[in-house]
Amino acid sequence: MIKLIERNFEKIVEAFWETNFMLFTSMFLCIILAIPLGILLFSFKKQYLLNKPLAYQILSILLNTIRSVPFLIFIFILIPVNRFIFNTSFGNIAAILPLTLVSVSLYSRFVEQALLNIPTKIVDRAVSMGASKIQIIRYFFIPYIKVDLILSFTSVTISVLSYSTVMGVIGAGGLGEFAYRYGYQEYDYPLMYLVVIIFIIYVYIIQNLGYFVANKILKK
């Protein structure tokens, strides 16, 4: 195993950073876009906020459509969009759009669900105190669902890490493509299993980091 790592160390490191680029960029954009989108979904549904059922249905159908399309096909569908936006449909940059859209569609639903689970007494307290719509969300709802937001973000991050393994179809690289090209195609199964172990360790780290941050917030 040590010799295997030494022989492929530079390639593994390069693939690891390609995976990290795709993961961190898409999740950064996800957290910026999905939290407001999830709040908007929730607000469209509630009478004491925006109460726009038609807007909710349109947005909900759009998010469900993104989640429903098989991810590999979704990558190919977005090729013309990538060419228009980034002037390329190949490489790391082209991987950001599909990963971001999928992560946003997943996380915004988690945000909406967390808000739907808020007890009625908190809503009643906020309304009775005369809080504005923005104040209700900012000072009552967001603090209450912080832990849920962190844990669900952790789950989405792990899912996106899994999605990133197929981005080799558009030449985005990463550990998934490395395992397929140098492990599976060259019948170097120990190398492929090594990459699987790396993924297992990475997921373990992400999951425990999410639990750690959540527990810190709970203690506060």
Whether 164 and 103 have beta carbons less than 8 Å apart is answered as no
Alpha carbon 196 to chain centroid distance? 20
Q: State yes or no: pLDDT of 2 exceeds 80.
A: no
pLDDT (average), residues 100-119: 96
Average confidence score pLDDT of the chain: 92
Closest to 8 (Cα-Cα) out of 203, 191, 218, 197: 191
Whether 82 and 88 have beta carbons less than 8 Å apart is answered as yes
Tokens of 49: 């906020």
Q: What is the pTM of this model?
A: 0.93
Whether 74 and 83 have beta carbons less than 8 Å apart is answered as no
pLDDT (average), residues 124-144: 90
Residue 218: the pLDDT is 85
Which residue type does 39 have? I
- Cα 219 to Cα 212, 213, 216: the distances in Å are 11, 10, 5
pLDDT (average), residues 39-64: 93
Tokens of 64: 């469900």
